Chain A
Amino acid sequence: MSALLSIEGLGIGFGGLRAVDDVGFSVRPGEILSVIGPNGAGKTTLFNMISGVYRPDKGRVLLDGQDVTAMEPHLLARRGLSRTFQNLQIFQSMSVLDNAVAGYHLRESGSVLADLLALPASRRRARDAREGARALLARVGLERMADREAGALSYGALKRLEIARALALEPRVLLLDEPAAGCNAVETEEIDRLIAEVAASGVAILLVEHDMKLVMRISSHIVVLDHGQKIAEGDPASVSRDPAVIAAYLGTEGASHADG
């Protein structure tokens, strides 16, 4: 199968600093590609460029072979790319259910006039979206929280709410930025299972995660960043043995200890 999402020579600088430089890889449908690296390696910046939040100054992002570099996030959403955020981006003052329903925006939105007058067409669209959203909340284990205000949820629950909202778009490419951060072991396992399930349904998943056990267990492919550059790439087993990776994580001294 050919690549669904390809990144070619992507780079961005902030002032004099090259936050990400010349990074490239590709993801196929059903594949889980993890991007790992020490703090500040440029993982989230990379995600922000792919999802259109930042405009890269070098390189290209290809979706279905089409150049979508620096395309507005809402247009990328139309093309089937959706994401979650490392530092939660939740609609705090809305209910949990409404947060998930918001993910149906592209399918539920229609004429404004119908919305203003509460015409049957508008109410039907909203009802369908609500039903879909309830099912998604059940899938991430939040169905009983549906009517609570989102701001009242725990960090781990909000992480799962973001995943539900992203899944509501029925994406073909899903970017997950540290989905397991702040989650306990049980929640992490649930997220683990959820990601595997979503990938199995043919979605290409891009994952940034610090929980190495989770990464090693579910990734089909791993890209390692350090100081904004790709230092290694491969399957979990080969990446975890790569001396450059060990050096990046433990420092060169640590690497020599590991060698010895």
Chain B
Amino acid sequence: MRMTPKSATLIVLMALIALSPLLFPSNFYYRVGALIFVNAIAVTGIVILTGYAGQVSLGHAGFAGIGAYACALAPVHLGLPPALAVVLGAVLSGVLAYLVGRPILRLHGYYLGVATLGFGILVTMVLTNERALTGGPDGIEVADLGLRGLLGDLGLKLSNGQFWYFFSGLCMLIGAWIALNLHDSPTGRALRALHGSEVAARTVGIDVARLKLRAFVISAVYASVSGSLLALQNRFVTPDVAGFMHSIEMVTMAVLGGVGSVLGAIFGAAILTLLPQVLTVFAEYEQMVLGLVMILVMIFLPMGLLPSILRTLRRKDE
């Protein structure tokens, strides 16, 4: 029996999470791995919004900011445990995405891109200017999630790096599982259909505006959870998490790796998280080389890295 793409993707991801530490030259790489997984969660949300539904957001980091600051503020001001703060951030992001997306997604064209751009900037401004609450541009401390201590009490002793590596990996895996479920479900099919042809989607009864809104809300929740995990892992957060560059990074990771496939987008997240570490040899030319790599990939592999590689391999098989 052939494996479904869904189980294949999940098995590959599980194997990578479990086996990569064997190759780590130092404990520092647990930290890099955890960062990859956290980015991958946000990028999986972009796959749903852009890869499935064909809508582009340039402000998704705004939702990451909401998720991150929910973890910083809710434990202090509302007395919530950090784990519930993650949920609160996700709900808040979902509701905001609904309110922002509802009027915009009825329109065609590039409105979503521009409006989300504005939304992201707005969130960054609030986080930067509301010093009394958010600590302003200097950032703010974030409480301990407490799960590592709990595991330690149960006899599973992990270093901080190891804990966040495996915990973020698990969250990424769950995120990928949900996105893959969606892909083959009626809702996912409708999203891919409206991506292919909006007019045809409408004539088969798909409420295009409503489905785009759903994709937008779901992807906002992904971004929010990603932001929460980043904040909890760093124990510190600055408004940069909501910044424009972070939004662009999410979209770039997804497109570079292959926005149509969950595995591809995660691959893109890995590459763009690792590349700056590798490119430090280029010193001040780092950004330039990074830009060059992206341009070349888009020119020669427009479907994204992973789908292009897989296609080449398949051709060799035949």
Which A residues contact B (CB, under 8 angstroms)?
51-53, 72-74, 76-78, 82-83, 85, 89-94, 98, 101-103, 105-106, 108-110, 112, 114-118, 122, 125-126, 129, 165-166, 168-169
Which B residues contact A (CB, under 8 angstroms)?
178, 181-182, 184-190, 192-193, 195-197, 199-208, 214, 218, 260
Let me know if B186 and A77 touch, CB within 8 A: no
CB-based nearest A residue for B179: A116
| Closest 8 pairs between A and B when the two form their complex, measured CB to CB | A91-B196, A77-B205, A115-B185, A89-B200, A73-B202, A118-B181, A106-B205, A89-B197
User: Please, how many angstroms separate the alpha-carbon atoms of A114 and B186 in the complex?
Assistant: 10
User: Please, how many angstroms separate the alpha-carbon atoms of A93 and B188 in the complex?
Assistant: 14
Residues of B within 8 A of A91 (CB): 192-193, 195-197, 200-201
Residues of B within 8 A of A117 (CB): 178, 181
User: Please, how many angstroms separate the alpha-carbon atoms of A105 and B178 in the complex?
Assistant: 20
A82 and B187 in contact, given A89-B197, A115-B182 (Cβ under 8 angstroms): no
Q: Which of A74, A94, A165 contacts B202 (CB 8 A)?
A: A74
Let me know if B199 and A85 touch, CB within 8 A: yes
User: Please, how many angstroms separate the alpha-carbon atoms of A56 and B166 in the complex?
Assistant: 59
User: Please, how many angstroms separate the alpha-carbon atoms of A9 and B196 in the complex?
Assistant: 34
Please indicate which of the listed interface residues A76, A89, A106, A110 has the most CB atoms of chain B within 10 Å of its own CB: A89
CB-based nearest A residue for B208: A74
User: Please, how many angstroms separate the alpha-carbon atoms of A169 and B203 in the complex?
Assistant: 10
A105 and B184 in contact, given A91-B193, A94-B193 (Cβ under 8 angstroms): no
Let me know if B192 and A94 touch, CB within 8 A: yes
Q: Which of A51, A83, A93, A112 contacts B187 (CB 8 A)?
A: A112
Q: 13 A–B contact pairs at CB < 8 A?
A: A89-B200, A91-B193, A93-B195, A93-B260, A102-B190, A102-B193, A105-B206, A109-B186, A116-B218, A117-B181, A122-B186, A166-B203, A166-B204
CB-based nearest B residue for A89: B200
Let me know if A105 and B205 touch, CB within 8 A: yes
Let me know if A90 and B203 touch, CB within 8 A: no
Residues of B within 8 A of A114 (CB): 185
